[in-house]
Structure 1
Amino acid sequence: MDFLSEITAAFVNFVWGPPLIILLVGGGLFFSLYSRLVPFRYIGHGISLLTGKHDKDSEDGQLTHSQALSAALAGTVGMGNISGVALAITAGGPGAVFWMWLTALLGVSTKFFTCSLGVMFRQKDANGELQGGPMYVIMEGLGKNWKPLAMLFAFAGLFGTIPSFQANQLTAAFREELIPENWISSPEMFNYIMAAIVTTLVAGVILGGLQRVAYVTSRLVPTMAITYLLMTLAVLFNHIGEIPALIGSIFTEAFNPKAISGGIIGVIIIGVSRGVFSNEAGIGTEVMAHGAAKTNEPIREGLVGMLGPIVDTLIICTCTALVILASGMWQGVEGVKGVELTMQVFGQELGLTGQILLAIQILFLAASTMFTYWYYGEKCFVFLWGESSRKYYKWFYLFMIIVGCIVTLDVVFNFMMGMYGLMAIPTMLSAFILAPKVKAAANIYFKKLAN
């Protein structure tokens, strides 16, 4: 495992260098300025689209606006919010949270463009169903000469959306923090038992296809997100007087070159990479969910998609970060990171009840993410190997749950982060080139809206 840890660490460090940070942050800044901040000016309209009053059964697609957002949020609101934030703070200190915020703010514009393109350039598969995603945006919007770029996204997407991280952290939460130590005679055997349970749970949903995934996630995600927010607010209420100082430390540490090894560049890389791992802005996975939306207006889905970073990072991740910082435990616990740290924090602040409630959150949020990742991965798998290969993917996916329950956190997280970085390259490059088409469509849409 040490060898795998070293290899995956080298891989993620190579991918997440300054060029990729410039691509994501600079790209978000470009989209914000190029659109003249239009996405921010129409946040209210984006929210109104979720009510269903603009939905039409006659339009193409498989999911309503709210179902598409729920499916996309199921892939983002989950372990990235609970475990990813803890990993960011332990690696980069409070300053990493600032760069997560910046990534989310710029990600609003990025998602507006990428999700609009996901509907604008979608393609029917062999079953006659519309498929969207960066690989189809590239093939339909840029042409067949760009197919290598589409293949790069599909390959990275196939492995970047494996469920191993969620399975790993779910197993760790129960093994290390919830189940009494004397109940576990063999940690290895416990890992296999958890693998069997989680695999069975996920199989029961994904074998029912996209409609079952959308049905489950549209009910799970809002309920779990609201419950989790109430838990974090209960903790923060006990530290209400400390919150201004905690927020101040986030800003000061963001520009403190002594924050971690690597100085300010290290803090930026950690914050940006963990931010996009949480909200997926510019990565392209969310484009696959929004590309299935039941609408003939690409701009509408762009407005819905851009709400993701606001909900995911600016609200939920911020609450997690403040809870961890308020506890002070991120500095004083050796060798504890990820979901284990978050669970210990809630145990300290809310007692055993807090740990049990968080365990329930982890179970359902991790499961909802795994449901959505199956959909993303299958689309990449079929794009690479054709419709006839679809039947094999579910078994590959379920096997990767077992792998995640067994291998170490560092191996799983670094491998997925590296693949996330590779996905961003084709997603952002195609969005840059096709941005004028989104802007033209937006001008037409907002003129009609004003009339």
Structure 2
Amino acid sequence: MSSFKRLVASLGIWALFAMPALADEGLESRGGFVDFIVAVINGFGNFVFSKINLFGVHIEWIVAFLALPMILLTVYFKFINLTSFKRALNIVRGRYNDDTAPGEVTQFQALSTALSGTVGLGNIAGVAVAISIGGPGATFWMILIGFCAMSLKFAECTLGVKYRIIHPDGTVSGGPMYYLEQGLKNKGMGKLGKILAWSYAIIAIPTMAQIAQVNQSYEAVAAVTGFDSDFSKWSFGLVVTFLTVIVIFGGLKSIAKVTARLVPAMAAIYIGAALVIILGHFSHIPDAFITIFSNAFTSDAGMGGVVGSLVIAMQRAVYSTEAGIGSATIAHSAAKTHEPVSEGMVALMEPFIDTVIVCTMTALVIVITGTYTASEGATGISMTAAAFGSVISWFPWVLALAAFLFAYSTIISWSYYSSRSWEFLFGGSKRSMTIFKVVFCLFLIPGPLLTVGEVYLVMDSLFFMLAVPNIIGIYIMAPEIKRDLKSYLSRLKSGEIKMVK
């Protein structure tokens, strides 16, 4: 099938989701292009979040589908999220570096690139969304989900490195498309592998529209500047697009160089401010944890009680950690290493840093300051800004800058993720990749024009659906991962793999 036919087929599939919503006479018009995007969001979201009756409780089928492998793999790999955590730290510190290993970036840079796609607005705005809908108890479920997500992240990133393709020029192509196709082919399931790989790539194409990042960073900037008009929205979208163009045309090494500097700096500023507030209210910390824990198991948990709180926590945690959706495997595939399992161990640190630490700190700030009850109507990043601003009056300005830079780093990381899906579908010629970069940047522009509900609906829908083909493949290849893990640990123990520093 030619690249053109593949493109037409992909657009046709996504147009099908828009038809029901476009027929809705109540759809508010914001221009043809924006209306079409909103129509696709609504149509696809209605499908993804349809509910099933599970033991007498109505729950989104996709939430149950994602929760199960996180728990099963944690047990199956004998709690690798705990037993290999120290080892993962040593790998990131370069204690097992091999300068002769294939790859494009160091294991630390691979982790930084992946973290730049996860640590960001999901931690700043996503936690506030979870609390505003599911109550403070949603934080408890996010922490628990983040803990179990570490095992799932380990599994997919191990496969990402194992089945990556090293090109003659040293560049790397990797990700779910490759390990689903090749990994299942090696098991005699070639047809199933192709179906899953192509399904993943087609679903991944719309993730080029990183509208949630542009939208929420605009909201933060608008809140402190007071500028909020159609003109300012379009202008903001154009500025973000221009800054994105500068970086993504430089390739992965350019992206890794930027994210390796941006992410630690902005994370330090954000975490530092959170610690000032948390430690400044040290005596309130026990009460905050009691509120979070007790609310997680009461009928007052929000949005349908305990189950509702769990559901919204799962939605926000998946968006925050990206565990199970396979995106981070694309970044980790480029790491310089001979050992796929070692990079899987590096990857399991992501959910811990992203959800267990950063999201918990955001939640504590919101609960300790009482913002979740005091800020009527505040959702997303506006609630987080109100929480920080209630203690540090000038911090919303810093938060606006942090939100912008976090969003920016996430956008450029996802430009790389999306480019690998595009390459898989349409080829990696210079012309093809230039078209991709132009399309990617154009889809950023209308981000500020959508509502918070719309941007999170589209991102949740896409992220959850990406997990379907990915997790099916991981289930099938789990015994293979376990054998590789056993071999790696055995060689470490015997001294065959040695520390270099």
TM-score, length-scaled by structure 1:
0.94
Pairs aligned (count): 445
Conserved in 1, the CA contact under 8 Å of 2:341 and 2:488? Answer: yes
- Secondary structure, aligned partner of 1:364: helix
Aligned counterparts, 1:11-90, within 5 A: 11-14=47-50, 17-90=59-132
Provide the alpha-carbon RMSD of the alignment: 1.9
User: What is the aligned partner in structure 2 of residue 397 from structure 1?
Assistant: 440
The worse-fitting range, judged by mean Cα deviation, of 154-163 and 233-242 is: 154-163
Distance 1:27 1:164 in 2: 28
Q: 1:200 and 2:242 equivalent?
A: yes
Q: Which amino acid in 1 is paired with 2:385?
A: M
Task: Select 1:307's aligned residue among 349, 361, 373.
Answer: 349
Name the structure, 1 or 2, with higher relative contact order (CA <8 Å, separation 6+).
Answer: 1
Q: Which amino acid in 2 is paired with 1:59?
A: A
Conserved in 2, the CA contact under 8 Å of 1:221 and 1:365? Answer: yes
Distance 2:208 2:320 in 1: 13
Q: Which amino acid in 1 is paired with 2:201?
A: A
User: What is the aligned partner in structure 1 of residue 20 from structure 2?
Assistant: none
- The one-character-per-residue Cα deviations of 1:263-320 (angstroms, maximum 9, x if unpaired) are 2221111001101110111111111111111111001001000000110001000000
- Secondary structure, aligned partner of 2:337: coil
The worse-fitting range, judged by mean Cα deviation, of 273-282 and 382-391 is: 382-391
User: What is the aligned partner in structure 2 of residue 174 from structure 1?
Assistant: 221
Conserved in 1, the CA contact under 8 Å of 2:157 and 2:344? Answer: yes
- Secondary structure, aligned partner of 2:390: helix
Task: Select 2:199's aligned residue among 152, 170, 190.
Answer: 152
Q: Which amino acid in 1 is paired with 2:252?
A: L
The worse-fitting range, judged by mean Cα deviation, of 372-381 and 2-11 is: 2-11
Distance 1:6 1:396 in 2: 22
User: What is the aligned partner in structure 2 of residue 218 from structure 1?
Assistant: 260
Q: How big is the shift at 1:406?
A: 2.0
Q: Which amino acid in 2 is paired with 1:407?
A: L
Task: Select 2:305's aligned residue among 253, 263, 277.
Answer: 263
Q: How big is the shift at 1:405?
A: 2.2
Q: How big is the shift at 1:126?
A: 8.6
- Secondary structure, aligned partner of 1:257: coil
The percent of aligned pairs where both chains have the same amino acid is: 34
- Secondary structure, aligned partner of 1:76: coil
Distance 1:14 1:311 in 2: 31
Change (3 A) 1:94 1:30: same
- The one-character-per-residue Cα deviations of 1:301-344 (angstroms, maximum 9, x if unpaired) are 01000000110001000000110111212223333211111112
Distance 2:460 2:200 in 1: 14
Q: 1:296 and 2:338 equivalent?
A: yes
- Secondary structure, aligned partner of 2:392: helix
Q: 1:318 and 2:371 equivalent?
A: no
User: What is the aligned partner in structure 1 of residue 32 from structure 2?
Assistant: none
User: What is the aligned partner in structure 2 of residue 408 from structure 1?
Assistant: 451
Distance 2:346 2:209 in 1: 25
User: What is the aligned partner in structure 1 of residue 286 from structure 2?
Assistant: 244
Q: Which amino acid in 2 is paired with 1:426?
A: P
The worse-fitting range, judged by mean Cα deviation, of 331-340 and 12-21 is: 12-21
Q: 1:346 and 2:382 equivalent?
A: no
Q: Which amino acid in 1 is paired with 2:219?
A: A
Task: Select 1:286's aligned residue among 321, 328, 332.
Answer: 328
Conserved in 1, the CA contact under 8 Å of 2:115 and 2:350? Answer: yes
- The one-character-per-residue Cα deviations of 1:75-133 (angstroms, maximum 9, x if unpaired) are 00000000111111101011111111111111111111111111111124696632111
Would you tell me which structure has more helix in proportion to its own residues? 1
- Which one has a bigger Cα radius of gyration? 2
User: What is the aligned partner in structure 2 of residue 96 from structure 1?
Assistant: 138
User: What is the aligned partner in structure 2 of residue 10 from structure 1?
Assistant: 46
Change (3 A) 1:141 1:401: same
Structure 1: gaps spanning 5 or more residues: none
Task: Select 1:386's aligned residue among 402, 427, 431.
Answer: 427
User: What is the aligned partner in structure 1 of residue 461 from structure 2?
Assistant: 418
Conserved in 2, the CA contact under 8 Å of 1:12 and 1:414? Answer: no
Change (3 A) 1:15 1:383: farther
User: What is the aligned partner in structure 1 of residue 147 from structure 2?
Assistant: 105
Conserved in 2, the CA contact under 8 Å of 1:122 and 1:140? Answer: no
User: What is the aligned partner in structure 1 of residue 17 from structure 2?
Assistant: none
Conserved in 1, the CA contact under 8 Å of 2:234 and 2:446? Answer: no
User: What is the aligned partner in structure 2 of residue 132 from structure 1?
Assistant: 174
Conserved in 1, the CA contact under 8 Å of 2:325 and 2:470? Answer: yes
Conserved in 2, the CA contact under 8 Å of 1:39 and 1:306? Answer: yes
Change (3 A) 1:195 1:174: same
- Secondary structure, aligned partner of 2:290: helix
The worse-fitting range, judged by mean Cα deviation, of 125-134 and 214-223 is: 125-134
- Secondary structure, aligned partner of 1:350: coil
Distance 1:365 1:261 in 2: 29
Structure 2: gaps spanning 5 or more residues: 1-26, 29-37, 53-58, 495-501
Distance 1:15 1:378 in 2: 33
Q: Which amino acid in 1 is paired with 2:231?
A: M
Q: Which amino acid in 2 is paired with 1:379?
A: R
Q: Which amino acid in 1 is paired with 2:480?
A: K
